[in-house]
Structure 1
Amino acid sequence: MKKANRLLQESSPYLLQHAYNPVDWYPWGEEALTKARTENKPILVSIGYAACHWCHVMEHQSFEQENIAEVMNENFVCIKVDREERPDVDQIYMDAIHAMGIQGGWPLNVFLNTEAKPFYGGTYFPPQQWVKILQNIAEAYRDHRTELDSSAEQFAEHLNLSDLHKYGLQQSESDFTAEDFEQLYSNFSARFDKVRGGMGQAPKFPMPVNYAFLLRYYQYSKNQAALDQAVLTLQEMAYGGIYDQAGGGFARYSVDADWLVPHFEKMLYDNGQLISLYAEAYAVTKNPLFKEVVYETIGFVQRELMSPEGGFYSSLDADSEGEEGKFYVFRQEELPAILGAEEPLFSKYYNVTGEGNWEHGINILHRKTSDAEFAQDNNLTIDELKSKVTAWKSTIMAVREKRVRPGLDDKILLSWNALMLKGLADAYKVFGEPQFLDLALTNAQFLLQNLRQGEALFHNYKNGKATINGFLEDYALLIQALIALYQITFEERWLNEAKKLTDYVIRNFYDDQEQLFFFTDQTGEKLIARKKEIMDNVVPASNSVMAVNLHFLSLIFDQPRYLEISDAMLAQVKPLVVKEPSHLANWASLYALKLKPTAEIAIVGPEAKNIQQELTQQYISNAVLVGTTSESDLPLLQDREPINGKTTIFVCYNKACQLPVHTVAEALEQLNQI
């Protein structure tokens, strides 16, 4: 019988996957670091996550092998880290790998001296190469310790360089011009794939912040090409294999340029953001495909990622039964028994062939045309086709229910839940679906009840426990979600929570010198470097999210200090945003907010909620919305009352108001005139 190691006491599913490895794994913590110092041994930090395919491969090939584990245990203190639980640790050692001139990725394997300073690392290593590296490093650590320590010291110094210095940025005054913004868009559009959507070539990641920026740029400029690129990308993703055609929800990325072959893992953070994006795109275009995607993706998350308590789990693995995508794919020969006489039309609709559209005769369900075109080409009415598609999806889902399911990472992360919470709020804002609001309220209550510690937040939750202090991403994304939740409910408790958290962040994360926020709380664990997150990635940078939050909260609460910080933050990174907008797209969206005054829309009176629902079905990105059926202490609602007893809408810019109106049509006209 296999003997368990220390990871058996952890809650992370990724760490638990390694609990019966013969490697003497430690979780990240003082016990392991003290052991390294006491025994004067180098440290191996191996970082991954539960849905990572190559992490599983390296585990099977190396960490499960007794002979390899023996080399690791004899020469190193071995630490396993779940990057999703400890993004702070991952961020430091990923930066170190980049400083070594190595392409980063996961699994991430980094070698440290006894002071936790890195001197060598890499990603995936095949078993023979891994053993050779272990032996070479153990020998070098014995015989050339001084040189390795010197190298580690240099990498540690690099890790502590100012982020502004790292990117060649200098502190500057707030100067946001239309000319620079147009240059920003020009640089951004140079990378468009105008045939299949997205940016550049394979692999393609959804990158929701990129296309959210295009929607905002379109609203700012009315540049049709920007909207066309966003619509093309969203349509191609929804047609592709990256989207689960039967069950809804998106995989993490497409390995090809056509969105056909996904890396089949499904992540909560992608799906939460894509719900927001498709809902916003529907508000702009009224494209029924986008509505379908929102409803189906929320259905997937509720069905497969929601905990009984109201939190959302982190991810589904790419693999089942040891094969990537096996849960989702079909061979054509198995379909007649499943679909009967419907199989030929089904196969035509989803582009299934006898040879397979992927590999080894396997098919990934995907589409190539709109329902309207397919119906016309096959002599069907659109209603007949929709009825068939609904039945097909139900049949396929029933077959999948009998298959071995992909592994579930059932830890609950605050930051990712906040993205999903905002997705639900945005979907309710556009579609008015009561179920979306119910899910949002359930999740918000769960998060504030279980992942809060006094004024502060936790990052994780599992088995009734929250154990890791919150990072900037947790605060920033939850504040963003709470602002969105207020604007669909007009319940001020959500705004008040957002303000309390904002004030905590300014006290405990803000760097007055660089006018940006650290990723870690000043009260948290002291690592070898205290980093700042600037670049927007598949999840927007916590600094960019915080800067947007401060912009809106400054107006809602009449707090000039918030706006000063927001402006200063954007000013710091502006040259980089203009030059590399595809890596700072959420900052680019903030830039759009700074160029025109943000509308302050106040709704007062008994029909405030109904007016809000009618108004928010439109796409209005540069606005804050407040409302009350009675009275409120919010600055934007003070001294405002219904006129002649009728619910009244006040549209203001820069503390100057238009004439009060009573209908959404009149308010929209005022918004369009400014």
Structure 2
Amino acid sequence: MKHTNRLIHSTSPYLLQHAHNPVDWYEWGTEALSKAVQEDKPILVSIGYSSCHWCHVMERESFENEDIARVMNERFVCIKVDREERPDIDQIYMDAVQALGVNGGWPLNVFLTPQQKPFFGGTYFAPPSWTQILTNLHAAFQANRTQVEATAEELRLHLLRSDVERFRQAPVEAELVAVAQGLYQKLSPKFDAVWGGMSRAPKFIMPAVWQWLLRYHVLTAQPEALHHTLLTLKKIAMGGIYDQIGGGFARYSVDGEWFAPHFEKMLYDNAQLLSLYAEAYALTRDPEFRTVITETVGWLTREMTSPAGGFYSALDADSEGEEGKYYVWTYRDLEEALGEHAPLVAEYYAAQPTGNWEHGQNILTRLLPDEDFLKQQELTAAAWQTILQQTKDTLLQKREGRPRPGLDDKIITAWNAMTIVGLTDAYRALGTPELLTLAEQNMRFLENELLEGQHVYRSYKDRRSHTRGFLDDYAYLIQAYRKLYEVTFNEYWLHRAAFFLETTLTLFFDPTDHCFYYTAHDGEALIARKKEIFDNVIPSSNALMAQNLWHLGVLLNRDDWKEKARTLVSGFSRLIADEPNYMAYWATVYLEMEKGMAEIVLLGADLEDVRKELQREYLPFAVFMGAISDSDLPLIADKAVTDGKTTVYVCYNKACRLPVYTVPEALEQLRHDTPSLSSTQPKY
């Protein structure tokens, strides 16, 4: 390589991709920021991530161009930021660009004064536009400095005004079911009744919305909510957004039919979708949902797991310079690979001789439910399953011989913990021991490599990065610990959850508005300190902390934690009611708090068999505790095995019903409070 810049020493795969640009890139840090002040130069902050298609395009077109790089180097201090390693920086400057009236996205290119105040920004720029912007902004900084500084100060003041200040209102005063029905009535007009999801394109899956709708159905026995949720999950699983051959989900669909995805695969999407499909399977026992879970875990273990047990971050959309090339097939490809079965398989996956997508290529997708396809083809389910499995094995083997998409092998704490949650939810629903083994293996990796005392670190690639964890890292870690406890009853996991909850309260909590900062009190000081309120593709870290406070408050009998959760959620209850699409995880926590969580305690030598049988049911408004004989946990300490049998206690707010000895008896006690559990679930 002709050029090598400072990024060669980074732990970020995205920054390493730019290490041989002729641009004199810096990482965000003292060296670059001090240089800007000393030389009185504006700063260019360019933010992206390794699987970002347009980030790659802008690099090829502009950042590898020596003439453009010369202008950047002479006139600006150029800083590259991996948004996944430094979401705190990304949040601030994304807010600034949106305040300027520009639609956000990546790459995000923002120009700052030497004091880090933004004055201009945008996303992708083609080379002629980029060159013109560089020239114009340099001229404006030199000739109109007062105006530039005024714009920057105005943006800084905007950034300092927190979302909490803007959106917190008096709590909603209404009965639970009425509030929930109001949320549903706001969501339901946006449903796409044909293809599932919401009526828009592009389509992001947004798992938190569908998880809330499943809970709403349990609360109200509302059949339409369940119908649309299951329709959505079916259509997604049939679409091109789901990898029909290798498992796992792409980031979003560019159309309204889940057909043509943006082909990058993100760990955080797949982690959440493991949980969502596990819940849907627990509710319906639909074998297709089980297949989705099994194939997605297969992809996770095959392509996304490091030898040490950490989960990688993402796979690029591109291979050989083309988006989706790794995943698509010509009709001839299918004929050569599958021989006599090719016409039947092509029909199943809607593949056409001329292609169903661009350049004669086919995205494998399913237009008919399996039962309709079998009727049409006069096939038995058993015969078709044999052909289908052979097809998947053959095509996967063929595909693995192709040049692979780029792998972002950075290991992020929050996303790994989220995946542990997905795996434990899948383990509860399916009972497959390997899922728990994979989750525990990953937690051991996190404990060995990314946790040190009370400190959580953000990421790992060959070595731990120096970046301390953010609120989502702590929040998902706590959730992962408590989920592991509930499927193992190993109290070590529960004590770790409590330890990091106390730590998070110490490091992130703001008692003035009863909310959590995204960055720790002892973290790097940026020009603004944000509090994450709205769900995005990942649920709000404050909503998740409210849930952690509530669940651990119940599990450990900590009324102070429960009160903090109530205060946090009630402050946003009006916003939840007004914007359920962007507050879905908050809405789930609201339902849990207002309905109340069943406290299910299992005691006895055979509690593991009882736990497995009971947790296979869909019980979203319950927490589980257990011990073979005795325990110091407050909700177990006063309970005992009766008549030498494994005993189940179903309690609410520490008041317990009579102990029972079988799962059907326990479910009968739970059904008394959960109307839809006693109804027959429709099959889709």
TM-score (norm 1): 0.99
* Equivalent runs, 1:244-643 vs 2, <5 Å: 244-643=243-642
Deviation at 1:634, TM superposition (A): 0.7
Q: Give the Cα separation in 1 of the matches to 2:527 and 2:452.
A: 26
Deviation at 1:456, TM superposition (A): 1.7
Deviation at 1:276, TM superposition (A): 0.8
Q: Give the Cα separation in 2 of the matches to 1:368 and 1:88.
A: 42
What's the CA shift string for 1:278-306, capped at 9, x where partnerless?
Answer: 01100011111000000000000110000
SS in 2 for 1:89: helix
**Given that residues 176 and 591 in structure 2 are in contact (C-alpha distance below 8 angstroms), is that contact kept between their aligned partners in structure 1?**
no
**Given that residues 190 and 199 in structure 2 are in contact (C-alpha distance below 8 angstroms), is that contact kept between their aligned partners in structure 1?**
yes
Deviation at 1:594, TM superposition (A): 2.2
The answer for the alignment partner of 1:31 in structure 2 is: 31
CA 1:316–1:156 in structure 2 vs 1: closer, same or farther (change >3 Å)?
Answer: same
Which segments of 5 or more consecutive residues in structure 2 lack a partner in the other structure?
674-684
The AA in structure 2 aligned to 1:576 is: L
User: How many residues in Structure 1 have an aligned counterpart in Structure 2?
Assistant: 673
The answer for the alignment partner of 1:120 in structure 2 is: 120
Which segments of 5 or more consecutive residues in structure 1 lack a partner in the other structure?
none
Q: Give the Cα separation in 2 of the matches to 1:192 and 1:221.
A: 19
The AA in structure 2 aligned to 1:159 is: L
The answer for the alignment partner of 2:192 in structure 1 is: 193
CA 1:508–1:174 in structure 2 vs 1: closer, same or farther (change >3 Å)?
Answer: farther
Q: Give the Cα separation in 2 of the matches to 1:104 and 1:173.
A: 32
Q: Give the Cα separation in 2 of the matches to 1:531 and 1:3.
A: 37
SS in 1 for 2:506: helix
What's the CA shift string for 1:514-562, capped at 9, x where partnerless?
Answer: 1110000101111111100010111101001111111111111111111
Q: Give the Cα separation in 2 of the matches to 1:156 and 1:635.
A: 48
What's the CA shift string for 1:249-286, capped at 9, x where partnerless?
Answer: 00000000000000000000001110111011000111
**Given that residues 174 and 571 in structure 1 are in contact (C-alpha distance below 8 angstroms), is that contact kept between their aligned partners in structure 2?**
no
Deviation at 1:173, TM superposition (A): 8.0
**Given that residues 371 and 385 in structure 1 are in contact (C-alpha distance below 8 angstroms), is that contact kept between their aligned partners in structure 2?**
no
The answer for the alignment partner of 1:646 in structure 2 is: 645
**Given that residues 269 and 539 in structure 1 are in contact (C-alpha distance below 8 angstroms), is that contact kept between their aligned partners in structure 2?**
yes
SS in 2 for 1:635: coil
What's the CA shift string for 1:125-160, capped at 9, x where partnerless?
Answer: 110011101000001101111111111111111101
The AA in structure 2 aligned to 1:268 is: L
Q: Give the Cα separation in 1 of the matches to 2:337 and 2:654.
A: 63
Q: Give the Cα separation in 1 of the matches to 2:628 and 2:467.
A: 40
The answer for the alignment partner of 1:182 in structure 2 is: 181
**Given that residues 174 and 568 in structure 1 are in contact (C-alpha distance below 8 angstroms), is that contact kept between their aligned partners in structure 2?**
no
The AA in structure 1 aligned to 2:449 is: N
The answer for the alignment partner of 2:150 in structure 1 is: 150
The answer for the alignment partner of 1:669 in structure 2 is: 668
Deviation at 1:174, TM superposition (A): 7.7
The AA in structure 2 aligned to 1:333 is: R
Q: Give the Cα separation in 1 of the matches to 2:630 and 2:447.
A: 26
What's the CA shift string for 1:366-398, capped at 9, x where partnerless?
Answer: 111222221221111101001100000011011
What's the CA shift string for 1:52-99, capped at 9, x where partnerless?
Answer: 000000111110001100110010000000000000000000000111
SS in 2 for 1:330: coil
**Given that residues 651 and 657 in structure 1 are in contact (C-alpha distance below 8 angstroms), is that contact kept between their aligned partners in structure 2?**
yes
The answer for the alignment partner of 2:58 in structure 1 is: 58
What's the CA shift string for 1:561-615, capped at 9, x where partnerless?
Answer: 1111111111111111111101111011112112212100000110111111000
Deviation at 1:191, TM superposition (A): 1.2
Q: Give the Cα separation in 1 of the matches to 2:576 and 2:198.
A: 17
Q: Give the Cα separation in 2 of the matches to 1:505 and 1:369.
A: 48
**Given that residues 170 and 571 in structure 2 are in contact (C-alpha distance below 8 angstroms), is that contact kept between their aligned partners in structure 1?**
yes
Deviation at 1:401, TM superposition (A): 1.4
Q: Give the Cα separation in 1 of the matches to 2:172 and 2:555.
A: 24
**Given that residues 309 and 446 in structure 1 are in contact (C-alpha distance below 8 angstroms), is that contact kept between their aligned partners in structure 2?**
yes
Q: Give the Cα separation in 1 of the matches to 2:579 and 2:171.
A: 18
**Given that residues 458 and 473 in structure 2 are in contact (C-alpha distance below 8 angstroms), is that contact kept between their aligned partners in structure 1?**
yes
**Given that residues 195 and 235 in structure 2 are in contact (C-alpha distance below 8 angstroms), is that contact kept between their aligned partners in structure 1?**
yes
SS in 2 for 1:602: strand
The answer for the alignment partner of 1:86 in structure 2 is: 86
The answer for the alignment partner of 2:106 in structure 1 is: 106
Q: Give the Cα separation in 2 of the matches to 1:10 and 1:213.
A: 40
Deviation at 1:175, TM superposition (A): 6.3
Deviation at 1:3, TM superposition (A): 1.6
TM-score (norm 2): 0.97
Q: Give the Cα separation in 2 of the matches to 1:667 and 1:604.
A: 13
Q: Give the Cα separation in 1 of the matches to 2:181 and 2:324.
A: 42
The answer for the alignment partner of 2:8 in structure 1 is: 8
**Given that residues 650 and 659 in structure 2 are in contact (C-alpha distance below 8 angstroms), is that contact kept between their aligned partners in structure 1?**
yes
Identity of aligned residues (%): 51
Deviation at 1:338, TM superposition (A): 1.1
Q: Give the Cα separation in 1 of the matches to 2:162 and 2:570.
A: 16
**Given that residues 54 and 106 in structure 1 are in contact (C-alpha distance below 8 angstroms), is that contact kept between their aligned partners in structure 2?**
yes
SS in 2 for 1:356: coil
What's the CA shift string for 1:610-664, capped at 9, x where partnerless?
Answer: 1110000000001110001121111111121110111100001122110000001
The AA in structure 2 aligned to 1:271 is: N
CA 1:454–1:658 in structure 2 vs 1: closer, same or farther (change >3 Å)?
Answer: same
The AA in structure 2 aligned to 1:641 is: A
The AA in structure 1 aligned to 2:45 is: V
What's the CA shift string for 1:163-221, capped at 9, x where partnerless?
Answer: 12333x33548866432221111111121111101112110011111111111111111
Q: Give the Cα separation in 2 of the matches to 1:465 and 1:579.
A: 41
The AA in structure 1 aligned to 2:254 is: V
SS in 2 for 1:637: coil
**Given that residues 631 and 637 in structure 1 are in contact (C-alpha distance below 8 angstroms), is that contact kept between their aligned partners in structure 2?**
yes
The AA in structure 1 aligned to 2:61 is: Q
Q: Give the Cα separation in 1 of the matches to 2:125 and 2:70.
A: 17
What's the CA shift string for 1:446-485, capped at 9, x where partnerless?
Answer: 1112111211211111113242100000011111111111
**Given that residues 46 and 81 in structure 1 are in contact (C-alpha distance below 8 angstroms), is that contact kept between their aligned partners in structure 2?**
yes
Q: Give the Cα separation in 1 of the matches to 2:513 and 2:325.
A: 49
SS in 1 for 2:279: helix
Q: Give the Cα separation in 1 of the matches to 2:594 and 2:207.
A: 22
CA 1:174–1:523 in structure 2 vs 1: closer, same or farther (change >3 Å)?
Answer: farther
**Given that residues 36 and 77 in structure 1 are in contact (C-alpha distance below 8 angstroms), is that contact kept between their aligned partners in structure 2?**
yes
**Given that residues 171 and 514 in structure 1 are in contact (C-alpha distance below 8 angstroms), is that contact kept between their aligned partners in structure 2?**
no
The answer for the alignment partner of 1:159 in structure 2 is: 159
SS in 2 for 1:80: strand
The answer for the alignment partner of 1:72 in structure 2 is: 72
Q: Give the Cα separation in 2 of the matches to 1:302 and 1:257.
A: 30
**Given that residues 173 and 568 in structure 1 are in contact (C-alpha distance below 8 angstroms), is that contact kept between their aligned partners in structure 2?**
no
